[in-house]
Amino acid sequence: MHATHNELIKFFEITLKESLELNHKIDLFEKLNHNIVTESSREDFGDYQSNISLILSKIYQQKPRQIAEDFIDLLLKNKSILSICDSFEIAGPGFINIKLKSEIFINKLIDNVQCPLNGIPIVDKKSKIVIDFSSPNIAKEMHVGHLRSTIIGDSLARVFEIRGYEVMRLNHVGDWGTQFGMLITHLKDVYPEFLPNSKNIEIRDLVEFYKTSKKRFDNEDEFQERARAEVVKLQNGDPDSISAWKILCIESRKEFDAIYKTLNIKIEERGESFYNPYLKQVVEELKNKNLSVEDQGAKCVFLDGMTNKEGKKLPLIIQKNDGGFNYATTDLAALKYRFTKSPNGDGADRIIYVTDQGQSNHFAGVFQVATKANWIPKDCRVDHVPFGLVQGTDGKKLKTREGKTIKLKDLLTESVIRAKKDLIKRIKEENRKENDDFIQKTSKVIGIGAVKYADLSQNRITNYQFSFDKMLVLNGNTAPYLLYTLVRILGINRKRGSYSIAKIDQTVFFKEDSEWKLIKKLLKFDEVVISIEKDLMPNRLCNYLFELCQIFNRFYDQLPILKAESKTIFSRLLLCTLTEKTLKLSLDLLGIESLDRM
């Protein structure tokens, strides 16, 4: 039996329903569509429990315990059930408690120890998933919102990749739009001698550059006029304008890439400008499909179920009255392109967008219009993965002590510095000698891992308070705690000497409570990973890991491992090995590097 937890539940449900069929109570099938088998709420109740007799008792006006007895009689005659179950018991008013044979767990444990993916099933159909994440804007600051999108998007991509999907990680960079008019005009003013050759231009502070351009645009009429003309030139592909635009993109990219390198993020840049040639067609098609209307000179699609304060339908504006296209137009073109089969598109089966909650209405609108226009093929799906704000510990917008917005680079650097301080302190306390290389590498893994984990372990929908103090502690739901647990296990490995578990050639058995708690937790790993694919909540994996580490540490503190009776050592080492593998795999799914020592 190599079933996942959910498959086992299904199996019990089907068997119970089949027993009903034997009893000629087939008509009841429909009524039993809610969960009739669940995991036991308490371990001493067994592994699974069913309330089927309680439901039926109301319908038949019979005693539930009597019904339960009848069911158990039938289950005892079922060969497949008997091959996996140890016992059935009636509890309380008529619950059926099901206990699995211990060998079911032990066999799965052995399988998972030997399987590189710990039993995570690979999907049969290789669907293509586009994950649109990170997506900062050219010449603007990459802020903490983009950091969240980057971390969450990367982790989701890793989960889909491990399951065997074809994943396209797309960076929908904001590299097009009217703001380039002012940016290019300012650039031409500041660096006239270098353009159009565009060599050797290095804009040191892009954010400052953006601010100055904006100030000039708002205050200088003559500048504003030139900026507007520049937008038209850029849209018409004027070579000078294009090369100026490229400089701005290249300079921004340098900053983004530095962050991606620190965070170890792989992503393919395909900015808004890519969809430029498709915008006109999108607008035309919506018009031909009678979906868009003109409203005060702008082309709009009015949205069902989305209204303003006066109860009027909200529009999705696809072309402004000056003829310019919008953020939404680009997203419609992008969606269409991604779903279109190759060679004219990506041929995706699912698109996932990771942005802050503030864009929920935007995506709801885009999805609605795309559905009406028939651009989302049958069996394909789109998901917006929204997340809350990053706040300081005061619950307000994250700022530096001087009240300025925090630069991402500085934020990551500070985390590493703090991790390093903690590490050096610990090394001193423990009288260890470590070289610089070790300190450097270890503090980077801890510092960056802590920032990522602090973000991922939150339910992403809620706002989250960024606190270095909290994310770096060794005992708590933090990356350092998980890494520390891993290091503990690797320590056992180093001391294990001649004990090898490469071959499973000894009897595996468990008698202790803390062993059983650990084995049962370990075997839920696959289910957790699969669940993320459905609800796109990486915090499930974090919660699981935290609990797993707590259970492991209890096991480690309560029971001897290498000093145990010789016939028990092998079994306990197996538990350590599977915990180690589970931790390493999970950290990898969260985009966090592992450590051998810390």
Part of the chain binding ligand ARG (CB under 6 A), chosen from 99-107, 129-137, 236-244, 298-306:
129-137
**248, two tokens:** 């701005």
Q: State which residue, 355 or 443, has the beta carbon closest to ligand ARG.
A: 355
Q: State which residue, 132 or 526, has the beta carbon closest to ligand ARG.
A: 132
Q: State which residue, 153 or 480, has the beta carbon closest to ligand ARG.
A: 153
Query: Which residue from 53, 55, 78 is spatially nearest to 66, judged by alpha carbons?
Result: 53
Contacts 24+ apart (CB under 8 A), 209-212: 209/139, 209/183, 210/139, 210/140, 210/183, 212/186
Query: Which residue from 388, 386, 348 is spatially nearest to 364, judged by alpha carbons?
Result: 386
**Contact in structure between 90 and 72 (CB atoms under 8 Å):** yes
3-state secondary structure of 498: coil
Alpha carbon distance 505, 452 (integer Å): 40
* Least distance between ligand ARG and beta carbon 132 (Å): 5
- List the interface residues with ligand ARG, window 339-358 (CB under 6 A): 353, 355
**Contact in structure between 129 and 165 (CB atoms under 8 Å):** yes
Which residue has the closest beta carbon to ligand ARG? 135
* Least distance between ligand ARG and beta carbon 174 (Å): 4
What single-letter DSSP state applies at residue 341?
P
Q: State which residue, 36 or 249, has the beta carbon closest to ligand ARG.
A: 249
- Using alpha carbons, list the distances in angstroms from residue 219 to 177, 182, 212, 215: 20, 12, 11, 6
Q: State which residue, 75 or 335, has the beta carbon closest to ligand ARG.
A: 335
Question: Phi then psi for 379, rounded to 5 degrees?
Answer: 70, 5
Q: State which residue, 136 or 480, has the beta carbon closest to ligand ARG.
A: 136
Does the footprint of ligand ARG cover residue 137 (CB under 6 A)?
yes
Does the footprint of ligand ARG cover residue 365 (CB under 6 A)?
no
Part of the chain binding ligand ARG (CB under 6 A), chosen from 131-139, 280-288, 368-376, 586-594:
131-139
* Least distance between ligand ARG and beta carbon 571 (Å): 50
Part of the chain binding ligand ARG (CB under 6 A), chosen from 132-140, 199-207, 407-415, 518-526:
132-140
Does the footprint of ligand ARG cover residue 253 (CB under 6 A)?
no
* Least distance between ligand ARG and beta carbon 138 (Å): 9
Using alpha carbons only, how large is the chain's radius of gyration in Å? 29
* Least distance between ligand ARG and beta carbon 186 (Å): 21
Q: State which residue, 226 or 384, has the beta carbon closest to ligand ARG.
A: 384
Q: State which residue, 13 or 346, has the beta carbon closest to ligand ARG.
A: 346
DSSP string, 143-204: -HHHHHHHHHHHHHHHHHHHTT-EEEEEE--B--STHHHHHHHHHHHH-TTTTTTT-S---S
* Least distance between ligand ARG and beta carbon 203 (Å): 20
Q: Where are the alpha helices (DSSP H) in 383-463?
A: 408-429, 436-456
Alpha carbon distance 37, 255 (integer Å): 53
| Helix (H) / strand (E) containing 117 | none
Is the peptide bond preceding residue 196 cis, with omega within 30 degrees of 0?
Answer: yes
Does the footprint of ligand ARG cover residue 132 (CB under 6 A)?
yes
**592, two tokens:** 């966090």
List the end-to-end C-alpha distance of the chain, in Å, as a whole number.
39
Part of the chain binding ligand ARG (CB under 6 A), chosen from 15-23, 134-142, 182-190, 341-349:
134-142
Tokens 């308070």 — which residue? 465
3-state secondary structure of 383: strand
- 442: how many CB neighbours lie within 10 A of its CB? 21
* Least distance between ligand ARG and beta carbon 334 (Å): 6
* Least distance between ligand ARG and beta carbon 431 (Å): 49
Q: State which residue, 144 or 184, has the beta carbon closest to ligand ARG.
A: 144
Part of the chain binding ligand ARG (CB under 6 A), chosen from 18-26, 130-138, 154-162, 230-238:
130-138
Q: Binding pattern to ligand ARG, positions 301-340, x when CB under 6 A?
A: ------------------------------x--x------
**Contact in structure between 54 and 34 (CB atoms under 8 Å):** no
* Least distance between ligand ARG and beta carbon 363 (Å): 8
* Least distance between ligand ARG and beta carbon 119 (Å): 34
> Exposed, middle or buried, 532 (CB in 10 Å: 0-12/13-18/19+)?
buried
* Least distance between ligand ARG and beta carbon 335 (Å): 8
Q: State which residue, 283 or 598, has the beta carbon closest to ligand ARG.
A: 283
Q: State which residue, 150 or 478, has the beta carbon closest to ligand ARG.
A: 150
Q: State which residue, 135 or 477, has the beta carbon closest to ligand ARG.
A: 135
* Least distance between ligand ARG and beta carbon 353 (Å): 6
**204, two tokens:** 């040191």
* Least distance between ligand ARG and beta carbon 137 (Å): 5
Q: Which of 4, 50, 135, 539 binds ligand ARG (CB under 6 A)?
A: 135
Size of the site for ligand ARG (CB under 6 A): 10
Alpha carbon distance 529, 340 (integer Å): 29
Which residues 6+ apart lie within 8 Å of 160 measured at CB? 129, 131, 167, 533
**513, two tokens:** 């409570």
Q: Which residues pair with 381 in a beta bridge?
A: 350
* Least distance between ligand ARG and beta carbon 135 (Å): 4
Q: State which residue, 319 or 514, has the beta carbon closest to ligand ARG.
A: 319
Q: State which residue, 227 or 354, has the beta carbon closest to ligand ARG.
A: 354
Part of the chain binding ligand ARG (CB under 6 A), chosen from 67-75, 135-143, 383-391, 557-565:
135-143
Part of the chain binding ligand ARG (CB under 6 A), chosen from 52-60, 133-141, 224-232, 561-569:
133-141
Range list of β-strands (E), 286-374: 293-295, 298-307, 313-319, 350-356
- List the interface residues with ligand ARG, window 166-195 (CB under 6 A): 172, 174
| Helix (H) / strand (E) containing 526 | helix 525-535
**36, two tokens:** 């009739």
Residue ranges in contact with ligand ARG by CB under 6 A: 132, 135-137, 172, 174, 331, 334, 353, 355
